[in-house]
Amino acid sequence: MSTPKKVVLLGATGSIGDSTLKVIRKHSDKIELIGISAHSQADKLFKIAKEFNVQHACLSQAPHEKINPPGKTQFHIGQQSIIELAALEEADVVVVAVVGSIGLLPTLAALRAGKQVVLANKESLVVGGQLVTETAQKYGGKIIPADSEHNAAFQCIQGQPDRSLQSVILTASGGPFRDLPINQFADITIEQALNHPNWSMGKKITVDSATMANKGLELIEARWLFDLTPDQLEVVIHPTSIVHAIVRFVDGCCIAQMTPPSMTFALQNAILFPERHEGVEESLDFSKSLDLEFSPPSLERYPCLRLAQEAMLQGATAPLVFNAANEIAVDSFLRNRIGFLDISHIIENTLNKSDLISTTSIDDLLALDASTRECANIQVDLLG
């Protein structure tokens, strides 16, 4: 039997963290969890540390009171500790499952250390796609996509000849407002936006799915992961979330990947790649009828998707601006400071006010990320 893969899990207390832990429990003979991180949920972090007997646990935000980690676990505090954990010498695989552009620095650190990076955090590729992919190439790090659509496309292209890929088609459920009359969008509440029909996820990505900003971010993510031009990327509404992506080849053949809507399938595939073993959950049941409907998305219904597509076409730092403005707008919506429709208005205004540059300097990217957030926050204040 081969030695278990040593895994670091950043964002262990989140939704992707939960699904990753299910995969690790199922395959405890093949995967050893050696490091975990969270932002503020110390109790949950330590519970995980205790269950898996992990060596390192990091909390990016300093706790208010003194806390004691369990057993042999070494406890570290601060954002820098997460970046160091991402490059931990003993680690083979680093799962990046933190939310937001905060994922960029740990992703770069892991790639610079030559790790296999299981990437759920799409924001890091949207913000620094060129830098991230160049860093992977330069230092021998490997990115295996964990986002379900991208992991699906990744599976479909394995073993196919070079230059045979024509386009990647990402599916989207359309979220909870797929059929809501557009004149009712102004009254959408936080609770309604968080009620996703198919997937159980963290709050930020659930709102992103309702606006379809998520699919926009995923187009940009796919552009970097598979080295594609914008015209090689398509989005299709598929309400049941059974087919996750379809790859179209130059000969016209399309290959799709299918599972029930749960992240354990993609995460297990990415962590154990290139091996396949029994899954955590039941596969699809073809003895019952399955609904495989596909239709094009309406850009009038989903202005955030249109804005992301435009940012992708513009290139340079437009995707970074799209992402930073979206993070501020979604956070403000979740704090009840702005309405649902304001999310796309804030993104559009911020994009219009931003000077775009072409850069792969991490300092430039972080500075622009910070100034874009300020610009978006000013617009939130004006609305509030």
* Min separation Cβ 44 and ligand NDP, Å: 7
Work out which of 32, 92, 147, 208 binds Mg ion, going by CB under 5 A: 147
Work out which of 5, 6, 7, 13 binds ligand NDP, going by CB under 6 A: 13
Residue 201 sits in the site that holds ligand NDP (CB under 6 A): yes
Output the DSSP codes for 314-332: H-TTHHHHHHHHHHHHHHH
User: Among residues 146 and 375, whose Cβ is nearest to Mg ion?
Assistant: 146
Dihedral of CA atoms 357, 359, 364, 365 in degrees, nearest 10, equals: 90
Spell out, one character per residue from 149 to 168, where the chain touches Mg ion: x when CB under 5 A holds, - when not.
Answer: x-------------------
* Min separation Cβ 59 and ligand NDP, Å: 7
Site for ligand NDP (CB under 6 A): how many residues? 28
Using a 10 angstrom Cβ sphere, with 0-12 exposed, 13-18 middle and 19 or more buried, the burial of residue 345 is: middle
Residue entry with tokens 């379900």:
148
Bridging pattern class, strands 243-249 and 165-172: antiparallel
Spell out, one character per residue from 259 to 278, where the chain touches ligand NDP: x when CB under 6 A holds, - when not.
Answer: ----x---------------
* Min separation Cβ 168 and Mg ion, Å: 13
Note whether 217 and 209 are within 8 A (CB).
Answer: no
Long-range contacts of 274-279 (CB under 8 A, 24+ apart): 274/158, 275/30, 277/27, 277/30, 278/26, 279/26
Angstrom CA distances, 98 to 8, 24, 62, 228, stand at: 12, 18, 17, 25
Work out which of 139, 185, 199, 249 binds ligand NDP, going by CB under 6 A: 199
Residue 210 sits in the site that holds ligand NDP (CB under 6 A): no
Work out which of 8, 24, 85, 97 binds ligand NDP, going by CB under 6 A: 97
Residue nearest ligand NDP (C-beta atom): 14
Q: What is the 3 state secondary structure string of 219-285?
A: HHHHHHHCCCCHHHEEEEECCCCCEEEEEEECCCCEEEEECCCCCHHHHHHHHHCCCCCCCCCCCCC
Inter-helix orientation angle 318-334/340-353, to 10°: 150
Cα separation, 70 vs 52, in Å, equals 11
Residue 152 sits in the site that holds ligand NDP (CB under 6 A): no
Residue 369 sits in the site that holds ligand NDP (CB under 6 A): no
Residue 211 sits in the site that holds ligand NDP (CB under 6 A): no
Both tokens of 159, joined, read 């073993």
Work out which of 23, 24, 54, 120 binds ligand NDP, going by CB under 6 A: 120
User: Among residues 59 and 270, whose Cβ is nearest to Mg ion?
Assistant: 270
Cα separation, 171 vs 148, in Å, equals 10
Angle at Cα 62 formed by Cα 56 and Cα 67, nearest 5°? 65
Burial call 222-233: b when 16+ CB within 10 Å, e when fewer: bbbbbebeeebb
Given Mg ion, ligand NDP, none, residue 220, with its beta carbon under 5 to 8 Å by kind, binds: none
Output the DSSP codes for 90-114: T-SEEEE---SGGGHHHHHHHHHTT
Residue 102 sits in the site that holds ligand NDP (CB under 6 A): yes
Radius of gyration of the chain (CA): 20
* Min separation Cβ 25 and ligand NDP, Å: 17
Given ligand NDP, Mg ion, none, residue 121, with its beta carbon under 5 to 8 Å by kind, binds: ligand NDP
User: Among residues 127 and 233, whose Cβ is nearest to ligand NDP?
Assistant: 127
Per CB under 5 A, contacts with Mg ion among 16-35 are none
Residue 122 sits in the site that holds ligand NDP (CB under 6 A): yes
Per CB under 6 A, contacts with ligand NDP among 35-74 are 38-41, 60
User: Among residues 88 and 172, whose Cβ is nearest to Mg ion?
Assistant: 172
Applying CB under 5 A, the residues found at the interface with Mg ion are 147-149
Give the interface with ligand NDP as residue ranges (CB under 6 A): 11-17, 38-41, 60, 82, 97-99, 102, 120-123, 147, 199, 201-202, 204-205, 263
